[in-house]
């Protein structure tokens, strides 16, 4: 039996996102987002699910906060729906929209829970998409305007800000692979989007600094880990390309002021260029206070000519999988965190998302989600290994507090430590909730 102990200053929390939990899509004058449109496009989301009601957290946030209070978290990572603040993407600000988030943040603070606010968690105002969305550089300025309104309104209440969640998903998953909104399948467009997101991030950080606010600001890329199948150079190089698509592509510009040349050249061979304009790289390289990291899974992978974008194929190495079919790969969590620290130094890191999909249902009021408890203990062990290896971890936000709308999977895939009955909206704390509660209280767990 071994004890995995965390430092007393470690911040523990849970994470959610606006479109996935709020519902109330017309309340307070909220405008349409690209996910409202995408989810209602036939064939895009499993079972035709959408976020019209979701967990109804717009109305039930007080109950959700009571649950968090019982859990004993230090922080709650939530996202703001841009279309609640700017229903048309630009122009008039919605006071009703701002007031909803004041109610949420004030209730959190009353309960001793620190808000960690994500400004962009994928719900772009549809009005901006209709003008080109993130492919249009004007959207950068619209985002900065939105960010400045939020900083001005909440700068004295929120001390941890995240500009963008999972830039790889917003750019490549949503505009090249095409399975998320708006569903484009154009690599050059996706590369433009990725660049414009990074510029928007840099400009928002500049605005935050100009306001002289004393909180912390960062961003939250998602990463996965590809482990070479063999010690053959071609396997290592292919995995480096696959990993770099998540890591270096979105972190080198922020921490080193340039895109990784090994990938720029790889893309150029495919006729893809980055639409860099004068001053962009200096803008992107604004110093940040912390790096958010979202990690779920990894794979063993190897070189295969003409396979995918990077001559890289995943190999089924027989790892157990969660109910969404992703490998359970805690070793990858340790490796990616160690790699990031090797590349960029000991920047403070919050794990802004880590969690697992298990679709256990309540039986006599109990949800026995042993798989999620095992995933949590394995990944928190990997996290502790990284900390003892010099990775500067400041906090861990479990994805997610609640079962919620899992994008293209709809409500079919459950990531919550609290079960949600989508017919009655009843919340049921799962066994993993009680495991996490105990771990937070003790700051350790036994393996």
Ligand X SMILES: N=NNCCOCCOc1ccc(-c2cn(C[C@@H]3NC[C@@H](O)[C@H]3O)nn2)cc1
Give catalytic residues, as residue numbers: 166, 353
* Tokens representing residue 381 in the block: 């062990």
For ligand X, which residue has the nearest CB? 17
Cα(322)–Cα(314) distance, rounded to whole angstroms? 17
Given a contact cutoff of 8 angstroms between Cβ atoms, the answer to whether 299 and 238 are in contact is no
DSSP 3-state assignment of 276?
coil
Crossing angle, helix 431-442 and helix 57-71, to 10 degrees? Answer: 50
Cα(120)–Cα(165) distance, rounded to whole angstroms? 6
Q: Contact with ligand X (CB under 6 A): which of 179, 187, 276, 425?
A: 179
Q: Which residues pair with residue 228 across a beta bridge?
A: 301
Please choose, from the candidates 262, 120, 123, the residue with its C-alpha nearest in 3D space to the C-alpha of residue 197: 120
DSSP 316: -
* Residue 56 binds ligand X, judged by CB under 6 A: no
Nearer to ligand X, 207 or 410 (CB): 410
* Residue 205 binds ligand X, judged by CB under 6 A: no
Burial-class residue 323 by CB neighbours within 10 Å (0-12, 13-18, 19+).
middle
Site string for ligand X, 371-410 (x = CB under 6 A): ----------------------------x------xx---
Shortest distance, position 398 Cβ to ligand X, whole Å: 12
* Residue 35 binds ligand X, judged by CB under 6 A: no
* Residue 356 binds ligand X, judged by CB under 6 A: no
* Residue 166 binds ligand X, judged by CB under 6 A: yes
Shortest distance, position 308 Cβ to ligand X, whole Å: 8
Shortest distance, position 316 Cβ to ligand X, whole Å: 15
Nearer to ligand X, 64 or 166 (CB): 166
Shortest distance, position 408 Cβ to ligand X, whole Å: 7
Span between the terminal Cα atoms of the chain, in Å: 6
Residues numbered 282 to 301 that lie near ligand X (CB under 6 A) are: 294, 296
Cα(247)–Cα(240) distance, rounded to whole angstroms? 10
* Residue 22 binds ligand X, judged by CB under 6 A: no
Q: Which parts of this chain interact with ligand X (CB under 6 A)? A: 17, 20, 166, 169, 173, 177, 179, 222, 224, 294, 296, 353, 399, 406-407
């Amino acid at each position: 039996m071994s004890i995995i102990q965390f430092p007393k200053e470690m911040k523990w929390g849970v994470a959610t996102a606006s479109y996935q939990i709020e519902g109330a899509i017309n309340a307070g004058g909220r405008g349409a987002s690209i996910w409202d449109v995408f989810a209602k496009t036939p064939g895009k989301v499993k079972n035709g699910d959408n976020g019209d009601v979701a967990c109804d957290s717009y109305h039930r946030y007080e109950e959700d906060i009571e649950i968090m209070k019982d859990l004993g978290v230090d922080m709650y990572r939530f996202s703001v729906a841009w279309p609640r603040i700017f229903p048309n993407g630009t122009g008039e600000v919605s006071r009703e929209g701002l007031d909803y988030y004041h109610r949420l943040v004030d209730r959190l603070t009353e309960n001793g829970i620190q808000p960690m606010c994500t400004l962009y968690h994928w719900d772009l105002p549809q009005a901006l998409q209709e003008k080109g969305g993130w492919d249009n550089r004007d959207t950068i300025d619209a985002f900065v305007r939105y960010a400045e309104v939020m900083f001005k309104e909440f700068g004295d209440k929120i001390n941890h800000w995240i500009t963008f969640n999972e830039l790889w998903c917003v750019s490549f998953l949503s505009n090249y692979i095409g399975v998320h909104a708006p569903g484009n399948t154009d690599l050059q467009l996706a590369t433009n989007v990725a660049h414009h997101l990074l510029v928007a991030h840099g400009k928002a950080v500049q605005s935050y600094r100009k306001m002289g606010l004393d909180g912390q600001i960062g961003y939250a890329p998602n990463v996965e880990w590809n482990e070479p199948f063999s010690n053959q150079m071609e396997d290592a190089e292919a995995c480096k390309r696959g990993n770099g698509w998540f890591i270096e592509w979105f972190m080198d510009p922020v921490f080193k002021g340039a895109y990784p040349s090994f990938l720029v050249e790889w893309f150029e061979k495919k006729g893809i260029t980055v639409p860099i304009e004068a001053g962009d790289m200096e803008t992107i390289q604004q110093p940040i206070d912390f790096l958010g990291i979202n990690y779920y899974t990894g794979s063993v992978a190897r070189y295969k000519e003409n396979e995918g974008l990077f001559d890289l194929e995943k190999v089924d190495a027989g790892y157990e999988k969660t109910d969404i079919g992703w490998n359970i790969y805690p070793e990858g969590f340790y490796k990616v965190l160690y790699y990031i620290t090797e590349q960029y130094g000991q920047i403070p890191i919050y794990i802004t998302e880590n969690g697992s999909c298990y679709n256990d249902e309540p039986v006599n009021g109990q949800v026995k989600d042993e798989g999620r408890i095992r995933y949590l203990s394995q990944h928190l062990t990997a996290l502790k290994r990284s900390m003892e290896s010099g990775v500067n971890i400041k906090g861990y936000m479990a994805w997610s507090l609640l079962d919620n709308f899992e994008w293209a999977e709809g409500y079919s895939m459950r990531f919550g430590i609290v079960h949600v009955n989508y017919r009655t909206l009843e919340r049921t704390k799962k066994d993993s909730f009680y495991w996490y509660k105990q771990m937070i209280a003790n700051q350790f767990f036994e393996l």
